[in-house]
Amino acid sequence: MDELPIGRRVAYWRGRRKMSQQVFADRLGKSKSWVDKIERGVRRLDKFSVLYEIADILQLDVQLLLGKDPDRRSDALNCIDQLEVDQIRAALERYDALSAYFDAAPYPPMLSDMRKAVNHAWLTYQYGRYGMLTRALPKLLRDAQAADAAYGADDQSREAAHLLGQVYQIASSVLRKLGDSELAWLAADRAMAVSQRADDQLLAGIATTRVGNALLAMGRARSALELNLRIANRLAPGGGNDASPERLSVYGLLLLQAAMAAARTGDSATVDDLLDGAQEAAHRLGGDHNHYWTCFGPTNLKLHRAAAAVELGDGGRAVETHLAIDPPSFNGLLPERRAHHMLDIARGFAQIGDVSAAGEMLVRGDRLAPSEIRCRPIAHEVMSDILRRTRGAPSAPIAELAEHMGVGI
């Protein structure tokens, strides 16, 4: 498909997402005529900002729209350092809502600006640019907190709370990735509290998965399992609940995270039951989507099947699941998801004794989202294991990656 004009590639992926031109145009904020002209090549699509937005709506890597392999990013890579952690902690420890009770901020951030900043932060996270994100998080946290405090008694209060809840979730997610599980738990707990003021059960459901992930990282798998299951049961489609794509996505992700917690406890039967429930939700959803920034759908479900197998110590099953994933569907996922999966499969190959293939998975993951491999403690553990078990010298790509990661050979 690389030789196709860019408009044809847009049309192809729009069709893969089962999205009409009108729906696509509405989400993009353009007319149906504009979309039609782009897809037929009558109008040029040469603004990267628009390409980036299209890629977000279609839930794929922008490089696919450009006819290129979704490979290594050119942006500079930096992992989080202690100074950035301290700045994020300071921002999380602010109590602007209480201060505003006594003295409201005279010039709060505009919500339109906050929406753009939060969307950009989500994309930065899902493209695996953790260093860039952690540098931006302290200010984003302060701005979102100030907006939430300033609009606390206004008609815009729910949206301000919703945006703050999202920022807390972003902070929790990246902090957990980078190994600060306790601070990740604090941010996730804040997200759950704010989501109640935002009056959005689905936002609270996603915040629950962040809390569960933090608990899991702290070794509290049983608590994570029970929490995810309890909220999943309350949000399940049916009864008084609708079966909207958003609800299916949030409900499905809760089941996936519960399955990961069950896998950590070694309960394979519960894992299978939860994954089957998530599969039903993914089937009803009908494709891979990014509602509420969940990246939920049939392909992500398969990624979690492989990850759960790794947690259960069944590397062979994880590798089999990986090999059965449809490449175009996999390439349509955002970089963080794909690189995370490569890390999981590296662990799977290591479990079955194929350390060469394990190293290759880390190298492939690094090409997709370097921060996911170079900055995560679990990836360092895997690389150390690979080097320790490799007979003779490792291959040049693995040795080079190990050097970048700071893992000694």
Amino acid making up residue 191: A
Q: Which two tokens stand for residue 186?
A: 């604090």
Q: Is 7 helix (H, G, I), strand (E, B) or coil?
A: helix
- The tokens describing 48, both together, are 């990267």
pLDDT category of residue 74 using cuts at 50, 70 and 90:
very low
Per residue in 80-118, pLDDT (tens digit) is: 766 778 888 888 876 655 444 444 555 678 999 999 999
Using DSSP, state whether 312 is helix, strand or coil. Answer: coil
Q: Which of 43-57, 112-126, 138-152, 285-299 has the lowest mean pLDDT?
A: 43-57
Is 75's pLDDT higher than 50? no
Dihedral pair phi/psi, residue 125, rounded to 5°:
-65, -50
The Cα 407–Cα 399 span in angstroms is: 9
pLDDT score recorded for residue 154? 63
Model pLDDT for residues 324-370, shown as the tens digit of each residue: 999 999 999 999 999 999 999 999 999 999 999 999 999 999 999 99
Please provide residue 84's backbone torsions phi and psi, each rounded to the nearest 5 degrees: -65, -40
The dihedrals phi and psi of 238, each to the nearest 5 degrees, come to 110, 170
Structural domain spans, the chain: 6-65, 81-219, 235-316, 334-409
> What is the pLDDT at residue 4?
67
Q: What is the pLDDT of residue 188?
A: 96
Determine the pLDDT at residue 299.
97
409: pLDDT confidence band, cut at 50, 70 and 90?
low
CA distances from 227 to 199, 223, 230, 232, 253 (A): 19, 6, 5, 9, 13
- The whole model's pTM is what? 0.80
Weakest-pLDDT range from 9-23, 211-225, 283-297: 9-23
> CA 73 to CA 339: how far, in whole Å?
12
Question: What percent of the chain has a predicted confidence (pLDDT) above 90?
Answer: 67
Mean pLDDT is highest, among 64-73, 139-148, 380-389, for 380-389
Between residues 66 and 248, the one the model is more confident about: 248
Architecture of the domain spanning 6-65? Orthogonal Bundle (1.10)
Residue 76 pLDDT = 38
pLDDT in tens, 315-324: 999 999 999 9
Q: Residue 78 has what pLDDT? A: 57
Does residue 152 carry a pLDDT above 90?
Answer: no
Q: Coil, helix or strand for 241? A: strand
Place of tokens 């701005």: 143
Residue 179 to residue 68: CA distance in whole angstroms: 32
